[in-house]
């Protein structure tokens, strides 16, 4: 098990990392790909691995920007973003009148199908 300081450092790394940062250098999986998988329902490493290709043995660690294997990178991203997405989804009032919601066509119901939170 990793020390708390190292985990905090890795969490900070992934919070600050741009979307294009590599999670697995062997398969090319990026932070954005993991985040999209979370939006599509991944809540744990097993369901995440079903939707994004991670290497099987974390041999990517020495080439990843984080210095960690893709399984650890994915676990950290899941621990940061899966609860946030669930919270956002539960609290989604479906108010499409705000500028960021214009892609939903200002529809008043949760059936617009255009925004990720409505799907």
Q: What is the pLDDT of residues 75-113, one digit of tens each?
A: 999 999 998 877 776 655 555 444 444 444 444 445 565
- Per-residue confidence band for 4, with pLDDT thresholds at 50, 70 and 90: confident
Domain that holds residue 45: 4-118
Distance in angstroms (rounded) separating the CA atoms of residues 109 and 94: 7
Total domains in the fold of the chain = 1
Nearest to 61 by CA among 51, 52, 71: 71
How many residues can be counted in the chain?
119
Q: What is the pLDDT of residues 23-75, one digit of tens each?
A: 999 999 999 999 999 999 999 999 999 999 999 899 999 999 999 999 999 99
């Amino acid at each position: 098990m990793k020390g708390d300081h190292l985990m905090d450092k890795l969490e900070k790394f992934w919070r600050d990392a741009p979307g294009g940062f590599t999670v697995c250098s062997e398969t090319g999986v990026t932070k954005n790909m993991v985040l999209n998988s979370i939006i599509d329902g991944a809540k744990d490493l097993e369901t995440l691995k079903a939707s994004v290709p991670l290497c099987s043995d974390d041999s990517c660690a020495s080439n990843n920007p984080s210095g960690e294997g893709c399984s650890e990178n994915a676990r950290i991203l899941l621990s940061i973003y899966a609860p946030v997405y669930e919270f956002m989804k539960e609290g989604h009032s479906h108010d499409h009148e705000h500028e960021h919601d214009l892609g939903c066509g200002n529809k008043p119901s949760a059936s617009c199908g255009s925004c990720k939170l409505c799907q």
